[in-house]
Amino acid sequence: MIDLPKHKKLILFDGICNLCNSSVQYVINHDKKNIFIFTALQSEVGKEVIKEFKIDTSKTDSILLYSPEKGIDYKSTAALKIANKLGFPQNLISVFFIIPPFIRNWVYDYIAKNRYKWYGKKESCMIPTPELKNRFLE
């Protein structure tokens, strides 16, 4: 089992994806309650989560949300749950929960499939600054 600090949620992201890294920076800047911690899917912790939850990385390779109480959320559900915890006005995006997951995930998958082409990618995972190091698991 993944050991997280109490009341924290873990965002797993594609560490070489520019869109994913920008999204992580956005969450860090808007996470006023300090709810989220982060790790790259490519990290040791990321690999442990993938193995523990038997995640098929050929079908899910961009964002996951893990909490000890709720388990793992994928794709659009993970993104909407993250936005919902960021407070106003970001939490307004949770209105998209009324759209059935198969439609939300179709849009999500389309963006995920094209994210490297549209936003580019890095040669290696993002290295957090010393100020942010405590928000990342390796």
Contact (CB, 8 A) for 135 and 38: yes
pLDDT by position in tens, the chain (length 138): 677 878 899 999 887 677 777 888 899 999 999 999 998 888 888 888 888 888 887 776 678 999 988 889 999 999 999 999 998 898 899 999 999 999 999 998 898 888 878 888 776 566 666 667 777 777
Indicate the length of the chain as a whole number.
Answer: 138
The distance of Cα 65 from the centroid of its chain, to the nearest Å, equals 6
3-state SS assignment for residue 71: strand
**Residue 127 phi, psi dihedral angles, 5° rounding:** -105, 120
pTM of the entire structure?
A: 0.85
Q: What one-letter code names the amino acid at 121? A: K
Nearest to 26 by CA among 102, 82, 97, 92: 82
